[in-house]
Amino acid sequence: MNEQRRQILEMLAEGKITADEAERLIDALERQRPESPQGTASRPRPRPKYLRVVVNSADDSGDGPSRVDIRVPLQLLRAGVRLTSLIPPQALTKANAELTRSGVPIDLTELKQQHLEELIEQLDEVDIDVDDPDSSVRVFCE
Amino acid sequence: MIPYLVTVRHRRSDGRWLRLYIPVLPILLVLSPLLLLGGLAACLATRVSPVGALRGTGRLLWALPGTRIEFEQGRTALLVSVR
């Protein structure tokens, strides 16, 4: 029970206010209450819309420093993942054979669309920051 | 929303910029017969469902706006932006 409600009940017990007045005051308190937490609560963080990849590297070839800045909508990644369901099985088999021959034994047929979509969903929180004396790489969502 | 403009900017080593503005919708309309025929042939050849391919391509197109790719190497640069 909060302090204001207690004071109203004490005033009622002491006979300073009538039961109707106490009810009206408590109703007024109830109406005020939902507004106060909204004012104090922090606003939810907006959901990221883009995946950013920023690479800065110092001059190592004599051409000057290089910079790569890529911004891809997360929606595009989701659409791309859905396209994987269109890949014919025989193409996946051939890709698996080539990957195995290259020393990367990954079975692409085991990659399910649902798993990839879950992966994209979790990308929101990704923040990769690699700092090197000559270059820096940052992958994040914004 | 379908992308309406793709901007390609290329900075040459002499510092001059080449700007290319590509209106997507008119170009898609002009090339649509060719794209449809080519797409259908590709789907039949690879045994992919044409409806699924069309839907997937549509989703991909719809998701493209907002994409921005920038490469800079010394004095040269390539910027591609989809709006």
Closest Cα in chain B, distance from residue A106 (Å): 23
CB distance B71–A68 less than 8 Å? Answer: yes
Angle formed by the axes of helices A74-83 and A113-122, nearest 10°: 170
Q: List, in sequence order, the alpha helices (H) in chain B.
A: 24-46, 50-63
Full residue range of the structural domain in which residue A71 is found:
50-141
CB atoms within 10 A of CB A33: 11
Q: Name the phi and psi angles at B31, rounded to 5.
A: -90, 0
DSSP A110: G
User: Is residue A124 in a domain?
Assistant: yes
A91 and A130 in a common domain:
yes
A69 and A117 in a common domain:
yes
pLDDT tens-digit series, residues A73-121: 988 888 888 887 888 888 888 999 999 999 988 888 887 777 877 888 7
Q: Among A8-22, A91-105, B39-53, which stretch is predicted with the lowest mean pLDDT?
A: A8-22
Q: Among A12-16, A40-44, A95-99, which stretch is predicted with the lowest mean pLDDT?
A: A40-44
ipTM confidence score: 0.84
What lies within 8 Å, CB to CB, of A4 at 6+ separation is A29
What tokens does A101 get? 């021959």
What lies within 8 Å, CB to CB, of A37 at 6+ separation is none
User: Is residue A45 in a domain?
Assistant: no
Q: Model-level pTM?
A: 0.68
A114 and A67 in a common domain:
yes
Residues 79-98 of A with CB under 8 A from B: 79-80, 82-83, 85-86, 88, 91
**Dist. CA A89–CA A22, nearest whole Å:** 74
Residue B29, SS3 per DSSP: helix
Q: For testing the chain A interface, which of B2, B51, B67, B83 should be mutated: the one with the most A CBs within 10 Å?
A: B67
Sheet of strand A66-73: strand arrangement: A127-131, A135-141, A50-57, A66-73, B68-73, B76-82, B5-11, B17-23
Task: State the amino acid at position A18 in one-letter form.
Answer: T
Residue B65, SS3 per DSSP: coil
A78 and A17 in a common domain:
no
Give me the number of domains chain A comprises: 2
A126 and A89 in a common domain:
yes
A62 and A34 in a common domain:
no
